Chains A and B, each alone.
Chain A
Amino acid sequence: MDALVGDYADAVVIPDETLEREFAARVDEASRLAFSVAMGVVHNRADAEDVAQEALIRAYRNFKRLREPAAFRGWLVRIAWRLAIDHRRSAGRREQRELESFDPPAGPDVEQLAAAREFGERLWRAVDELPEKLRMVVVLGGIEGYDHGEVAALLRLPEGTVRSRLFAARKKLVEKLRETLPDRLTGTLT
């Protein structure tokens, strides 16, 4: 055994453990963030998991290149966002996503469920048509626990810019839905 382990010891490439531990400490929160960002783009849990996983793997591979550890989350958000956009462009996945997404929460009223589902579909279609800058702010601002300041830090933007972009995005969404939302759906809004 000594002879075997002696050869083994010479052959192993020792990783940078500090990097490993730093990354491990961030993985918990980061995986949740990456999943939410992906969900805001692909709108499907399975696809979002694929995207989030790939984003985290890429982040892990390139973690050493990151000069500012504080910028990790913003960096991960960009990776996840780009991967999600690419993922969505796949025609096959898009068809699958449209079939599977927007499952409304279970409830007693079938009509209400159908209305909620249709509203969700129309809303996210409108979100997807927004310019990317506005879209990203809508998604990040919609994640629980991410206020204007957090979103500004993630995107490295002034907080005022985030606020104005979020307002512009919501205004566009309201206008779009006001024009396209059928009266039967409007009546279901509470």
Chain B
Amino acid sequence: MTCKHVTNRLNDLALAALDGPRRVEVEAHVAGCPACRAALDRERRLAAAIDREVAAHLAAEPSQEFAARLRLRLAQEPAPETASSSWASGLLRWPGGWTRGVALALAASMAIGAVWLARRRSSASPQPPLPSAARATPTPCCSGGVPTAETGAAPRAARAAVRTTARNTVSASARAAVRTPPLQQEALAEVIPQVIVDPHQQEDIARLYYAIQANRVDLVSFMAVPPGFKRQADGSLAAAPLEIEPAPDAARDTWSGEAEPAREMK
């Protein structure tokens, strides 16, 4: 076997793709030919360098921000294949942009209203003490910086506690309907603005805010003014002031409800 024949086989030998009698022949030639041995060595080093470079290039890690950005993007995505069938919400989504502003304004005004209602209720009737877990602020729960299934024990405990203690504020049917997808739960802490909310209603406000922001709420249904609220000039809702009717003059000074006879002036 001559050098010319072997040269064509060196590549195969370097890539370990030569076997059988041909391999034996080429190796026998290379063993006795310094030029072909040097060429084989060069081929092997080149093949190894290629593998190394490919592996090193593909071993690059995404940045820390990548996981956070991805988490947020996924959280902002509507649930897969579950676009609202409501024509009204479809209309509201078009042309886009302004609905977000309306949603944010609504969420802010509702948060304010919730605080007002909570204060009003707490002053009217004392509520049972809430377990400490229920006061915990929801925190993002993920492993390795990438969203995973729900893993946070504290938020889970908080949700469970709220479920059992705050029945007077949110109905069970509403709670079942306001299930937040696991990917979105993790982004809640980053997405919701910092507003002062009664601890009993913290989670509900967060869910509500997020659902509105993600365009998963039919905003038309919010257009009706709920009891206790008043529509302002800019379209937002505000808690209506309490209107207290004055008592009749005749009964003002009596605790028993019986009118006191008028005194005669002497």
Contact = CB atoms under 8 A, between A and B. Distances in A.
Contact of B179 (A17, A31, A35, A119): A17
A79 interface: no
A173 to B, nearest CB: 5
B101 interface: no
A24 B151 CA distance: 11
Interface of A: 1-17, 19-21, 23-25, 27-28, 31-32, 35-36, 39-40, 43, 45, 48-49, 52-53, 56-57, 60-65, 105, 119-120, 123-124, 127, 138-139, 142-144, 167, 170-171, 173-175, 177-178, 181, 186, 189-190
A17 B70 contact: no
Given A45-B63, A53-B70, A56-B74, A20 B114 contact: no
Greatest chain B CB density within 10 A among A10, A16, A20, A186 is at A20
A27 B148 CA distance: 7
B161 interface: no
Interface in B198-256: 201, 204, 208, 211, 216-219, 221-222, 224, 226-228
Q: Is the interface of B mostly helix, strand, loop or mixed?
A: helix
A25 B149 CA distance: 6
Greatest chain B CB density within 10 A among A28, A36, A61, A178 is at A28
B57 A174 contact: no
Q: Is the interface of A mostly helix, strand, loop or mixed?
A: helix
Given A8-B211, A21-B149, A124-B57, A171 B15 contact: yes
27 contacts: A1-B169, A7-B226, A10-B177, A11-B86, A11-B217, A11-B221, A12-B177, A12-B216, A13-B83, A14-B177, A15-B80, A15-B82, A20-B182, A27-B146, A27-B147, A28-B144, A28-B148, A31-B70, A39-B58, A40-B58, A48-B60, A60-B77, A60-B80, A61-B80, A139-B58, A174-B11, A186-B42
